[in-house]
Amino acid sequence: MMSCSSSSSGSEDECMNSYRRGGYHAVRIGDKFSGGRYIAQRKLGWGQFSTVWLVYDSQTSNYVALKIQKSAREFAQSAIHEIEVVSALTKHDPENKKCVIRLVDHFKHRGPNGQHFCMVFEFLGNSILQLIKYNRYKGLPLNKVRDICRCILTALDYLHRQLGIIHTDLKPENILLVSTINPSNDPIRSKTIPILSKPEGGMYNGGGYVVNPIEKKLKQRARRAVARITARRASLGGVRPVTTRDRCLDGIDFRCKVVDFGNACWANRPLADEIQTRQYRAPEVILQSGYSHSADMWSFACTAFELATGEMMFAPKSGQSFSEDEAHLALMMEMLGKMPRKIAIGGLRSKDYFDRYGDLKRIRRLKHCPLTCLLTEKYKFCMNDARDFADFLIPILDFVPEKRPTAHQCLQHPWLNKSSEFSVQNLDSQMSKLQVK
């Protein structure tokens, strides 16, 4: 599902075939929603279930993000669930201190493709994934990693301890900066004049104004051709890739919020056996041995590693004789050591991967590389930084879910409380200053 980010998701446009009965609602710049209160400005992004638009709230004179769900019954049910969860998050955080996205409004909108549930959220900035990409996958300075981790853990502590909610899909895409990396993408900082009526002329589709389809295809082909030529020259040593230069991170606000609660559940009411995006999936989820709040903590550790290194902690690929799941378990054990036999054989799917001794059935030779060694040898951390960071992460990556520290305990860890631009003590005051734009 698409979050209320300031940029689109992976591919450039959603499938136009999905603009049909039960699918997306086609939006044009200047379209009005909820009795004319919200006016569409531009598309922010899209996902499997919805499109997200920057809209102007004519009632409050603020810019907000409008998430328009597909109209089919299964998507409507998903929207009802998400509204229930985010309403609780907003209700119990009146001072805006808990680092979770705020729900502004929700309503139904009827269009040619059916009735769509709509959610209005505060407008936030880029995702942490986009920040990683902006930094050219080089890994952020550890002080910045601490600042982001502190916000994520504040959100998880609120979800887990106060509300009893499991996010179930924590990952860089679902963590948004409170403001955009590029000020020109922020309608307030760029002093954008709101569009209050539909522009005259031009062609429109679900993504707003476009040129005619033939011209668009020609431009896409030209871009791909240029990219192929550049890649070929670079492979021959003729062109030095631009990505070798460092990005300037000055001026970026590293405060962030956890978003996208469409798959969240209450701990006593799990919704699905398989949760989490592959690379951030906990071992107990793979083995189907039950999960709780500690599954979110595993995903958090994977995210923290990715922030610090620019690369995913676990990116498994299937082979001729083994599945992606078994490869994933092997990668875990190469870094963290052998999984305790009781855990390895204790899940509904354990027999698919492990023998009765707790050894993998099809992957016998593991290349052990502890986290500290990986950080120093591959990512060139100094030994002290590697040891301190590993000391923070390794307990969270315990194969025994009950042994993992809680978000509240992690917030007290010495690594997280080293010198930084803002401390744990003043995080509350920093977040409470945020206002819905």
Outline where 92-212 has alpha helix (H): 128-134, 142-157
Contact of 317 with 259, CB cutoff 8 Å: no
Annotation marks residue 169 as catalytic: yes
Contact of 132 with 306, CB cutoff 8 Å: yes
Handedness of CA 175, 176, 182, 184 (dihedral sign): positive
What is the C-alpha separation between 421 and 250, in angstroms, rounded? 12
Beta strands in 180-313, from DSSP E residues, in sequence order: 203-205, 208-210, 256-258, 265-266
Residue with tokens 């025994």: 400
Contact of 281 with 332, CB cutoff 8 Å: no
State the number of CA atoms in the 13 A half-sphere of 26 facing the CB: 13
Residue with tokens 């798959």: 263
CB neighbours of residue 53 within 10 Å: 28
Closest CA to 257 of 90, 102, 88: 102
Which of 31, 147, 157, 169 is flagged as catalytic? 169
- Say if residue 67 carries a ligand binding annotation: yes
Contact of 307 with 149, CB cutoff 8 Å: yes
Q: What is the largest CA-CA distance in the chain?
A: 71
b/e map 373-391, b = 16+ CB within 10 Å = ebbbeebebeeeebbbbbe
Can you say how many angstroms the Cα of residue 312 is from the centroid of all Cα atoms in its chain?
Answer: 13
Question: Would you please indicate which residues are annotated as catalytic (active-site) residues?
Answer: 169
- Residues at the annotated binding site for ATP? 67
Annotated binding site: 67
